[in-house]
Structure 1
Amino acid sequence: MAKICAPGKPRILCLHGFRTSAAILETQIRKWPESILEKLDLVFLDARYPSAGKSSVEGIFDPPYYEWFQFQVHQDHTEYQNYEECIAYIEDFMVQNGPFDGLLGFSQGASLCATLPGMQEEVRHISTFP
């Protein structure tokens, strides 16, 4: 976990993309204008699972690489593994390190950012949003 800004600003939990890392997302976001970064408290979290395959950023960014959950695409459906464990991992982090004012995600992390607020009513612990 890494932070860019000082406390007292909107706290945003940042979730990286598939087979990348918190450090990679932080490097990418540091390219944003300082006028934006100085207004936010960004918290970066690595996914629970080490990459189970080749990362598309090998040779661009150094390892280690992580993935939030795994999936297999079949002809008529997609099968997901460790999705519930992934949600529980993020939920636990939010409870222990929150509250957070929002979420920011890239790729696989963005899909989780879209899922988590919708689960607030269903999952009793995801209550760290205002």
Structure 2
Amino acid sequence: MSAVPRKILCLPGYLQSGKIFAEKSSGLRKPLTKKLNLDLDYISPPVVLNDKSELPFSLGTDEEADAKWKSIVESECNRCWWKHTEPFGYEGFDESLKYLVNYIKENGPYQGILGFSQGAAMAAALNNVIEDVLPGHPSFELAIFISGFVFTTPVNENDDKYDLFEIQDVDVYRQKVKVVEGFEKYFDASKAAGHIVNIYGTGDATVPSVRSRHLSTIYDSNRLSVLEHDGGHYVPSKKHFVNPIIEIIKDVLDTKSNL
């Protein structure tokens, strides 16, 4: 490993701040920093949700919702990379991309990127176009996606997207979806040169595993490591699962340093 820490940009999920994501990912963060000497930079999403009515789901009864929303705001987690708008809207995506480009200009370069859930989808999009949106910045050596996904819409307008999420065979899923119009370049991985580590849970009810498995298919299998756990929508922290991730990343970055 290099004596100079490699910098990894870390993107939290929906309704998370950089601080909260750092806490939630401590089981992975600590070995990445202590064992691999990586410099993890956790940042907060720039898009602010001003009212609970902007959420794509209910927080419970009126009283419960008010209390939960107050807690979200007080912890500065009323943030996201884009707002969910139907049927397939991603309001704020362009704003977030510009924010990331400017942030990297001021604080980079970064050798890698890591994202969780909505942050993983954002990380994938940026990973795939980094050299186009930020000329002079090389491709990330490493991209780590946890519960990530591609922006998709059904090929057949009569298909319900939520029904498609129930599909188990990723090849069948691929045939039934397409990238949302206008976002094709962000999920074209032909220019992404680094190694991809794609992590997901088979019990994930928030981002069904078929969506994360579909994300894997856009990358060259020779530059892809897939790690599947039997849990849900979270960053794995158990040593028996994290240790293989650390070994993969160590091998990837050691190889890069010897080129």
Q: Fold-level match, TM-score > 0.5?
A: yes
Deviation at 1:94, TM superposition (A): 0.6
Give runs of aligned pairs for residues 32-51 of structure 1, distance below 5 A: 32=28, 34-38=30-34, 39=36, 40-51=38-49
Which residue of 70, 73, 77 corresponds with 2:83?
Answer: 70
Partner of 1:92: 102
Q: Secondary structure at the match of 2:100?
A: helix
**Comparing both chains, which one has the higher relative contact order based on Cα–Cα distances under 8 Å and sequence gaps of 6 or more?**
1
TM-score w.r.t. length of structure 1: 0.77
Task: String of CA shifts for 1:63-114, please: whole Å, max 9, x gaps.
Answer: 111111112122xxx0121211110000100111001010000011100111
C-alpha distance in 2 between matches for 1:16 and 1:89: 14
Deviation at 1:129, TM superposition (A): 4.1
Quickly say closer, same or farther: Cα 1:126–1:114, change in 2 above 3 A: farther
Deviation at 1:17, TM superposition (A): 0.3
The answer to whether structure 1 residue 9 and structure 2 residue 22 are counterparts is no
Partner AA of 1:44 in structure 2: Y
The answer (yes or no) to whether the contact 2:18–2:43 under 8 Å persists in 1 is yes
Q: Which of the pair is proportionally richer in helix?
A: 2
Quickly say closer, same or farther: Cα 1:84–1:35, change in 2 above 3 A: closer
Which residue of 8, 11, 14 corresponds with 1:18?
Answer: 14
Greater Rg by CA:
2
Deviation at 1:128, TM superposition (A): 5.1
Deviation at 1:34, TM superposition (A): 4.0
C-alpha distance in 1 between matches for 2:112 and 2:29: 19
The answer to whether structure 1 residue 102 and structure 2 residue 112 are counterparts is yes
Tell me the matched-pair count. 120
The answer to whether structure 1 residue 83 and structure 2 residue 93 are counterparts is yes
TM-score w.r.t. length of structure 2: 0.41
C-alpha distance in 2 between matches for 1:33 and 1:117: 20
Partner of 2:129: 119
C-alpha distance in 2 between matches for 1:33 and 1:15: 13
C-alpha distance in 1 between matches for 2:6 and 2:19: 20
C-alpha distance in 1 between matches for 2:94 and 2:76: 23
C-alpha distance in 2 between matches for 1:33 and 1:123: 28
Deviation at 1:116, TM superposition (A): 0.8
Fraction of identical pairs, as percent:
26
Partner AA of 1:98 in structure 2: G
The answer (yes or no) to whether the contact 1:12–1:102 under 8 Å persists in 2 is yes
Partner AA of 2:42 in structure 1: F
C-alpha distance in 1 between matches for 2:103 and 2:19: 17
